[in-house]
Chain A
Amino acid sequence: MSTLAIDKAGPTRKVKLRSMSRDRTWALRWSYFFLVLFAIFFLIPPIYMLITSLKSSAEISAATNPWWVFHPTLSNYVELLTSNQFLRFFWNSSMISIVVVIVTMLISIPAAFALARMKFWGSATLATGVFLTYLIPDSLLFIPLFKMLAVVQDVTGITLLNRWYVLVFIYPTLTVPFCTWIMIGYFASIPKELDEAALIDGASWLQTLTRIFIPVALPGLIAATIFAFTVSWAQFLYPLVFTTSIDQLVLPVGITTTLIKGDVFNWGQIMTGALLGAAPPLVIYAFLMDYYIAGLTAGATKG
C-alpha cells in the first residue's frame, strides 16, 4: 500500500496514454468474463437439477461423472407425471395459488384505490400499517396461527387443520400487504385529472375504479398478480405446519416429505419433482419478465 503511494507521488510518474475506447473494450471484456463466472454460480443448481432428472437411479448410484448424462432417460418424468400422489400435490398447489391470487386481488385493489385516492380519516396510518404488515415474516406467525386453527376447530367442529383449503385463508396475509402497497404506488401515479373528469361526468367511485384505474394500472396489476402467484406457489412453512396427510400436501412440502423416505433419497425423482415444481414460476418469469422485475423494484421505489 505504502510503496504504491510513494510510486504515485514520485517524480517519474507515467502518464497513461491508453485511449478511452481501448479502456472501454477492456472493461467490457472483464465485465463479460465475470458475468460468465457469476452466471455459472447462479445457474449450477437448476442445471444440475435438469442433469440429475435425466438419469436413472442405476446411473446415479454408479457414481460416474455427476456433470454428464451417459444414458439419458425420461423415466423419472413419466413416473412422476403418472403418479396420482404427485399430480395431487400439483393440483393442490395450483388450486391454492389460483384462489389466493383471486382473493388477493379482490381485497387489495379496492383497498389500494381507497388509500391512494380517497383521503379519509386514518388513511395515511392504514397505508403505513399495510407496509409494516408486509414486514412481518411467516416464521413469527405460524405457531399462534396453528393454535388459533386448533381452537377454532374445537369450538366450531369444522375441520381446519390438515386441510389444504385452509391455506387459502392464510396465504393472503403474505400477499395482500405487498400487492396493496405496490397498487397504491401505481394508482397514485395516475393523473388526478383522469378521475376528476370521470367524477364530473357522473361516474361513481366504483365506476372510476373499474373503468379508469384498473385499465390504466394494468401493468401494476399484472406485476401484483405474478407476485401473489409466486409467493403462494413457493410457500413452504405454513403448509408444512398446517397439513400432514399425503393427499392434502402442496408441491414443495410433498416433494420434501414423500420423496425422501427415511434415509433413502431417490435423487432422480426428487430433482425431477423439484424441477417440475419450479417450472410454473419459471415459465411465468420467462414470458412476463418485465412485469416481474417491475413488481420487484416497485416495492421499494414507489412510496
Chain B
Amino acid sequence: MADVVVEQGRLARAARPRKRASLRNAMGRKSTVAFFLTLPLILLIALLVLYPAFYSVYLATLNKAMTKFVGLSNFTFLFKRETFWMVVRQSCIFAVTAVVFKALIGFIVAHFVHNIPGKKQRKWRGMLLVPWVIPPAMSTLAWLWLFDPSYSAFNYTLSFFGIGPIPWLGDTFWARFSVILVNVWYGAPFFLIMYLAALKSVPDQLYEAAAIDGANWWQKIWHITLPMMRNIIAITTLFSLIVTFANFDIVRILTSGGPLDRTHLFATWAFQVGIQSSDIPLGACVSLFMVPILAVAAVFILRDVNKRGNEA
C-alpha cells in the first residue's frame, strides 16, 4: 500500500496533469483498490497456509532423511502398523464422544440459563463460559493436578464415598475417559453460548401456541426448538468436530499419548513421530490423514453457512 501512495505523490509533484488524472483514475478504480486491500491477506494465505499444505503432501513422499522420493511407501508403512490403526480408532472415538457430550451438555445448560430471569442470565452465562476463556494448556495443567496419582483431589473426595482410588491417567479406559472429560469441560461452554443465542431467536408465540394445543415440554423441544435451531446446531457441531478431531493440547499435556499410546490422537502422534523422533515425512503423512474427515465437515459447514447467508 505504502509504495503506491508514494508513487502517486511523486507523479503529482512531476506536475503532468494528464498522466496524473489517468493515474488517479487507476487508483480510484474499484478493482485496483480492492486488489491492494486484499493483497496482504492473499499473500498470507498463499505462503503460510496453502503452500505448507501442499508442501506437506510432498514431504510425505520422501524417505526419513528427506533425500529421495519414495512414493507412497510411507503410507503403506503406516497401514501395516498397529499403532496407526489404534490412533485412527482413538481419534474417532475421542472426537465423536466428546462432541456428542459437549452438544448435549451445552443444549441442556442453555435451557436452564434460558429459564431463569433475564437479569441473572448475564451473571450465570459469564460464570459458565470461564472454561472456554482459560487457555487450554493452562486449564489442562489444573486437570493433571486433579488427576494426580498420589495426591489426586478426585480420589481424595471419592474415598469418602467408598470408591477406591481410580488410576485416572494410568489405565487405558480411565485415561481415555479423562481426556474426553477435559475436552468436554473445555468445549461445552462454546455450545452453551451458541445455543443460548439461538434459543433467544425462537419467537415466544410458537411456544404459546404449542401450549394452547396441549403440547408437553418434550413435544415443544422436538417440534419447535430443534427445528428452529437446526442450522446453528449443525454448524456448531461440525465446527467442533473439526477442532476436536485436530486437538493437540489436552492429550499432549495430560497423557502424552500414554499409557502405551492408548490415548494418542492424530495430532499428538504426528508430533511424536515427526518432531520428537524427527521423522518429518512420516509425521507429515500421519497428519495428512486428518484431511478427509476435515474436508467432509468443512463442505457441510460451508453449505450451512451459505444457506444462512441466503436466508438473511
- The reply to whether A28 and B115 form a contact with Cβ atoms under 8 Å apart is yes
Q: Cβ of B146 < 8 Å from any Cβ of A?
A: yes
- The reply to whether B133 and A35 form a contact with Cβ atoms under 8 Å apart is no
Q: Cβ of B135 < 8 Å from any Cβ of A?
A: yes
- The reply to whether B33 and A205 form a contact with Cβ atoms under 8 Å apart is yes
Q: Number of B interface residues at 8 Å Cβ cutoff, please give it.
A: 100
CA distance A67 to B160 in the complex (A): 14
Residue of B nearest to A199 (CB): B28
Q: How far is the CB of B254 from the nearest CB of chain A, in Å?
A: 11
Residues of chain B in range 100-135 having any CB-CB distance to chain A below 8 Å:
105, 108-109, 111-113, 115-116, 122, 124-135
- The reply to whether A145 and B52 form a contact with Cβ atoms under 8 Å apart is yes
Cβ contacts under 8 Å, A145 to chain B: 48, 52
- The reply to whether B239 and A300 form a contact with Cβ atoms under 8 Å apart is yes
Q: Cβ of A159 < 8 Å from any Cβ of B?
A: no
Cβ contacts under 8 Å, A177 to chain B: 45
Q: How far is the CB of A29 from the nearest CB of chain B, in Å?
A: 10
Q: Cβ of A132 < 8 Å from any Cβ of B?
A: yes
Looking at the complex, which one of B38, B249, B274, B294 makes contact with A126 (CB distance below 8 Å)?
B38
Q: How far is the CB of A275 from the nearest CB of chain B, in Å?
A: 8
Cβ contacts under 8 Å, B243 to chain A: 137
Q: Cβ of A77 < 8 Å from any Cβ of B?
A: no
CA distance A129 to B298 in the complex (A): 11
Residues of chain A in range 271-295 having any CB-CB distance to chain B below 8 Å:
271, 274-275, 277-278, 281-282, 285-286, 289, 292-293
Q: C-beta contact mask, A38-60 vs B, less than 8 Å → 1, else 0?
A: 11011111101100100000001
Chain A contact residues: over half helix, strand or loop, or mixed?
A: helix
- The reply to whether A35 and B48 form a contact with Cβ atoms under 8 Å apart is no
Q: Number of A interface residues at 8 Å Cβ cutoff, please give it.
A: 98
A-B contact count (CB 8 A): 287
Residue of A nearest to B115 (CB): A31
- The reply to whether A234 and B197 form a contact with Cβ atoms under 8 Å apart is no
CA distance A204 to B25 in the complex (A): 11
Q: Cβ of A170 < 8 Å from any Cβ of B?
A: yes
Q: Of the 9-residue stretches A82-90, A111-119, A214-222, which lies at the interface with chain B?
A: A111-119
CA distance A83 to B46 in the complex (A): 41
Q: Cβ of B253 < 8 Å from any Cβ of A?
A: yes
- The reply to whether B135 and A236 form a contact with Cβ atoms under 8 Å apart is yes
Residues of chain B in range 204-230 having any CB-CB distance to chain A below 8 Å:
none
CA distance A172 to B139 in the complex (A): 24
Cβ contacts under 8 Å, A243 to chain B: none
- The reply to whether B49 and A133 form a contact with Cβ atoms under 8 Å apart is yes
Q: Cβ of B179 < 8 Å from any Cβ of A?
A: no
Cβ contacts under 8 Å, A115 to chain B: 38
Cβ contacts under 8 Å, B108 to chain A: 34
Residues of chain B in range 257-287 having any CB-CB distance to chain A below 8 Å:
266-267, 270-271, 274-275, 280, 283-284, 287
Q: Of the 9-residue stretches B70-78, B163-171, B300-308, which lies at the interface with chain A?
A: B300-308
Looking at the complex, which one of A67, A172, A299 makes contact with B153 (CB distance below 8 Å)?
A67
Q: Cβ of B235 < 8 Å from any Cβ of A?
A: yes
Looking at the complex, which one of A106, A234, A267 makes contact with B137 (CB distance below 8 Å)?
A234
Q: 6 A-B contacts, Cβ less than 8 Å apart?
A: A45-B185, A61-B151, A146-B280, A256-B137, A274-B141, A300-B236
- Sample of 5 further A-B pairs with CB below 8 A, known A42-B127, A143-B56: A31-B116, A60-B151, A108-B41, A120-B30, A136-B53
